[in-house]
Amino acid sequence: MNENVLSKVLTIVVPAYNAEKYLKDNLDSFCIPELLSDFEVLVIDDGSTDHSANIAEEYVKRYPDTFKLITKKNGGHGSGINTGILNAAGKYFKVVDADDWVEKEPFMRLIQVLKNSDSDIIASGFYWVYDEGQKNKMEFTRKLEMKMPFAGVDYNKEYIFDEIADRVYIKMHHITIKTAILKEHKIKIDEHCYYVDAEYITYPIPYVETIRFVDAFVYMYRLGRQGQSVSIEKMQLNEKNYDKVIESLLTFYDRLEDEVICSEAKKKYIAGIIARIVAGKMKIMLSYPAINSRKLSMIDFDKYLRKNYPAIYYGNINIALSILRRTNYLLYGIASMLVRHKYS
């Protein structure tokens, strides 16, 4: 991709599946007249059976130079992102889920930074926003995901990623990344699968050299709506998806030895990401009634990691999992009870 001929500084990809209830909030948040020429919004309709495509088409008609609608057969969230990567024309790339939105002033600040930056990743902040059914989303309770990316951060500085890799964790909603990295290295994540955010934030890392942080909380991440995939019930139902993502991540990690050139700092960072996903898998296993067969399954999986992926095993920062390991899983029953009580 020749960045010198790009007319847009940013491609925003909105994967949408049956999102008619939320999509207008999402797309309205980008309708900032003074910025419309700076970015494109690709709404990827993932085989919706509701009016999502019709809603998107209204914005295409109003702002044809900014909004584009791409319709496709259902393939899941990852498929929407993959399609977005293939069709993106902006210098930078960001995913904003159809039920989320961006805040005007912080988004304007992000665009300004993108215009004047050549860093591989631009990281901005986000809020957890709790939707409890209020009609006005301004009434939703907000919680900062984190106040700052690390102590002493200089928001005006371009950092070498390796030099701060042990101090940061860049989540899906933080990240705005150079489109060229995704295209040139053929980044592709699993389709027909939940929880692929972990793949999206992991696979480009070996190719990232620089990162810059924006002092702006751009992304509003909606939580609490019925059926959301991060609820413990949904995680139980989709446990095999979690397993698939972990398997894909471990396969990718294995490739860092031979096929993908990766610094030690980045490799350790990637191990830390996978360790967090492993902790999520353990939470799912603990959320079921405590029976000996599940306990043995957890122990076997843990032994497998310790033997084959020690950097991932020892990269764990989850306190509950650390306690289970230190007590040789003697507290398994209590841990299971506490997890089930928390999510009951």
User: In this predicted model, what pLDDT tens digit does every residue of 105-156 receive, in sequence order?
Assistant: 999 999 999 999 999 999 999 999 998 888 888 888 999 999 999 999 999 8
Give the pLDDT score at 133.
80
Of 223, 247, 274, the residue at which a domain comes to its end is: 223
Give the global pTM: 0.93
Tokens of 21: 């209830």
User: What is the signed CA dihedral for 137, 141, 147, 149, rounded to 10 degrees?
Assistant: -60
Q: Give the CA distances from residue 136 to residues 28, 31, 129, in Å, rounded to whole numbers and listed in that order.
A: 14, 18, 12
Of 223, 252, 275, the residue at which a domain comes to its end is: 223
pLDDT of 1 strictly over 90: no
Same domain membership, residue 182 and residue 37: yes
Q: How confident is the model at residue 207 (pLDDT cuts 50, 70, 90)?
A: very high
Find all residues with CB under 8 Å of 152, minimum gap 6, and list them.
none
Find all residues with CB under 8 Å of 308, minimum gap 6, and list them.
none
> Are 75 and 45 contacting, i.e. CB atoms less than 8 angstroms apart?
no
Give the pLDDT score at 7.
80
Same domain membership, residue 247 and residue 207: no
Same domain membership, residue 277 and residue 218: no
* Residue 198 exposure: Cα atoms within 13 Å on the Cβ side: 28
Same domain membership, residue 287 and residue 182: no
| Residues 50-70, mean pLDDT to the nearest whole number | 98
Same domain membership, residue 100 and residue 212: yes
Q: What is the pLDDT of residues 16-53, one digit of tens each?
A: 999 999 999 999 999 999 999 999 999 999 999 999 99
Whole-angstrom distance, CA of residue 25 vs CA of residue 326: 47
Same domain membership, residue 186 and residue 141: yes
Overall number of domains in the chain:
2
Query: If you write DSSP's letter for every residue of 71-133 in order, what string do you get?
Result: EE----HHHHHHHHHHH--SSEEEE--TT-EE-HHHHHHHHHHHHT---SEEEEEEEEEE-SS
In three-state secondary structure terms, 247 is helix
Give the pLDDT score at 230.
55
pLDDT of 11 strictly over 70: yes
Give the pLDDT score at 81.
98
pLDDT of 342 strictly over 90: no
CATH of the domain at 72: 3.90.550.10
Give the pLDDT score at 232.
77
Same domain membership, residue 196 and residue 51: yes
Same domain membership, residue 163 and residue 78: yes
Q: What is the pLDDT of residues 280-295, one digit of tens each?
A: 999 999 999 999 999 9
Same domain membership, residue 268 and residue 173: no
Could you list the residue range(s) of the whole structural domain that residue 117 is in? 3-223
What's 252-305 look like in SS3?
HHHHHHHCCCCCHHHHHHHHHHHHHHHHHHHHHHHCCCCCHHHHHHHHHHHHHH
Burial of 139 (0-12, 13-18, 19+ CB in 10 A): exposed
Give the pLDDT score at 229.
47
Mean predicted lDDT score pLDDT of the chain: 93
Whole-angstrom distance, CA of residue 65 vs CA of residue 37: 7
Burial of 214 (0-12, 13-18, 19+ CB in 10 A): buried
> Are 331 and 299 contacting, i.e. CB atoms less than 8 angstroms apart?
no
pLDDT of 4 strictly over 50: no
| Residues 179-206, mean pLDDT to the nearest whole number | 97
Same domain membership, residue 197 and residue 67: yes
Question: For 96, phi and psi rounded to 5 degrees?
Answer: -125, 110
Same domain membership, residue 278 and residue 308: yes
Same domain membership, residue 281 and residue 150: no
Of 223, 257, 289, the residue at which a domain comes to its end is: 223
Q: How confident is the model at residue 269 (pLDDT cuts 50, 70, 90)?
A: very high
Tokens of 269: 């960072």
pLDDT of 178 strictly over 50: yes
Q: How confident is the model at residue 191 (pLDDT cuts 50, 70, 90)?
A: very high
